[in-house]
Structure 1
Amino acid sequence: MSSGGTVETTPTGYTLIIPPGWARIPLREGTKEALERIFFTHLDKVPDGVARDDAMRFRLELRRQLEKRARAARRNGGLDLYLPVRPRSGTLVAASFIVAELPIGGAEQAKAKHVLERLAANTAGPGVSTRGLSGGTAVRRESRVAAEPGRELDVDSRRVEYVMPVAGNSGNWLSISFSTPGDGNLDGEFTDVLVELFDAVVGTFKWSYE
Structure 2
Amino acid sequence: MIDFELIVPDGWAHIPTTPESARLRSRTIDALIKSRLPDSLPRDKAAPFRKMLRTELTNATDDAARGGARAVLLPLTEYHNGWRVPGSLLLTVIEEPDDAPDPQALLGSLLADAGPNGNRLEIGGGPAARITEVVASDAVGRKPPSLKVSYYIAHPEVAGVWALLTYTVLTDGDLESEVLNAVCLLFDTVVATLRWTDRIDVPTEDELIDLLDAADAAVTSP
TM category (shorter chain) comes to 0.7 to 0.9
Give the Cα separation in 1 of the matches to 2:38 and 2:102: 49
Give the Cα separation in 2 of the matches to 1:44 and 1:92: 19
Contact 2:7 2:193 in 1 (8 A): yes
Amino acid of the structure 1 residue aligned with 2:32: I
Contact 1:46 1:55 in 2 (8 A): no
1:68: which partner in 2? 59
Pick the structure with more helix per residue: 2
Q: 1:110-129 alignment to 2 at 5 Å?
A: 110-125=101-116, 127-129=117-119
1:192: which partner in 2? 181
Contact 2:132 2:148 in 1 (8 A): yes
Report the Cα offset of residue 177 of structure 1: 0.3
1:170: which partner in 2? 159
Give the Cα separation in 2 of the matches to 1:153 and 1:178: 18
Of the candidates 124, 128, 137, which is equivalent to residue 138 of structure 1? 128
Report the Cα offset of residue 16 of structure 1: 0.3
Structure 1 residue 97 corresponds to structure 2 residue 89: yes
Contact 1:102 1:175 in 2 (8 A): yes
Structure 1 residue 32 corresponds to structure 2 residue 32: no
Contact 1:95 1:182 in 2 (8 A): no
TM-score (norm. length: structure 1): 0.79
Q: 1:76-91 alignment to 2 at 5 Å?
A: 76-88=67-79, 89-90=81-82
Give the Cα separation in 1 of the matches to 2:4 and 2:163: 10
2:215: which partner in 1? none
Cα separation, partners in 2 of 1:45 and 1:170, compared to 1, 3 Å? farther
Give the Cα separation in 2 of the matches to 1:75 and 1:166: 24
Give the Cα separation in 1 of the matches to 2:113 and 2:37: 43
Q: 1:46-57 alignment to 2 at 5 Å?
A: 53-57=44-48
3-state SS, counterpart of residue 199 of structure 1: helix
Give the Cα separation in 1 of the matches to 2:72 and 2:64: 7
Report the Cα offset of residue 120 of structure 1: 1.3
Report the Cα offset of residue 57 of structure 1: 1.0
Give the Cα separation in 2 of the matches to 1:119 and 1:92: 32
Cα separation, partners in 2 of 1:76 and 1:189, compared to 1, 3 Å? same
Report the Cα offset of residue 104 of structure 1: 7.2
3-state SS, counterpart of residue 204 of structure 1: coil
What is the RMSD computed on CA atoms of the aligned residues? Answer: 2.8
Cα separation, partners in 2 of 1:153 and 1:78, compared to 1, 3 Å? farther
Contact 1:140 1:160 in 2 (8 A): yes
TM-score (norm. length: structure 2): 0.75
Any unmatched runs of 5+ in structure 2?
200-222
Give the Cα separation in 2 of the matches to 1:105 and 1:15: 21
3-state SS, counterpart of residue 70 of structure 2: strand
